[in-house]
Amino acid sequence: MTSTPETPAAAPFSRIKIRTGALVFCGDDVALIRRDRAGSTHYTPPGGNVEHGEDLDQALARELAEELDLDVDQAEGGDLMWVVDQRVTRPGPTPPPRKLHLIYRLHITPELRATLAEVELDELPDGSHETGVIEWIDYRKTAELPIFPPIGPALAALADPRAAVTDAALEAVTDENYTWVV
């Protein structure tokens, strides 16, 4: 009798996912998606995971079209601002991935802003949707907001929305400095 070896469970953070996101500025205001959940509210920059076969520019363009109805060709900029390395334990049946968040910066006109989406539907694993509200917030007021990845303090510290960023690597997000919001 032969036995079949069991497939070992994947270790936490053994998979790597890449998420592209953007800080879309209109003057001093930046677009963030507010998600209200039972007992918590948090914000995220518009964006999402890079899909198999996509390059980073394609992923960012697709996500901004899906979430904001934004055609990136109508925006100015596109420079990489920050990279955030996420290694946070989270609930669920599968081990958490390590995730690299690539945060880009774009600028749009008030005329273009007026045409963008006001809500975003995020598909959940069960096929239902979670509604996110697009909020335009003065970037200088983001330090204390519950933003994930936690870029609020760095964003609020910018001298202006076009200020140069000298170090793209922000502090890693780990179980020691972050508790997963359910």
CATH number at residue 152: 3.90.79.10
In-domain check, residue 8: no
pLDDT of residue 67: 95
In-domain check, residue 7: no
Q: Which domain holds residue 80?
A: 16-174
* Cis status, amide bond into 149, omega within 30 of 0: yes
In-domain check, residue 182: no
Q: What is the mean pLDDT of each run of 10 residues along the chain (182 residues)?
A: 54 90 98 90 95 96 97 97 92 86 98 97 82 97 95 97 95 88 62
Nearest CA-CA partner of 132 in 68, 72, 88, 176: 68
In-domain check, residue 136: yes
β-sheet bridge partners, residue 83: 102, 169
Neighbours of 111 (CB within 10 A): 9
In-domain check, residue 106: yes
In-domain check, residue 123: yes
In-domain check, residue 168: yes
End-to-end CA distance of the chain: 46
Task: Tell me how many domains the chain contains.
Answer: 1
pLDDT of residue 113: 98
This prediction has a pTM of: 0.89
In-domain check, residue 43: yes
Which tokens belong to 60?
């960012």
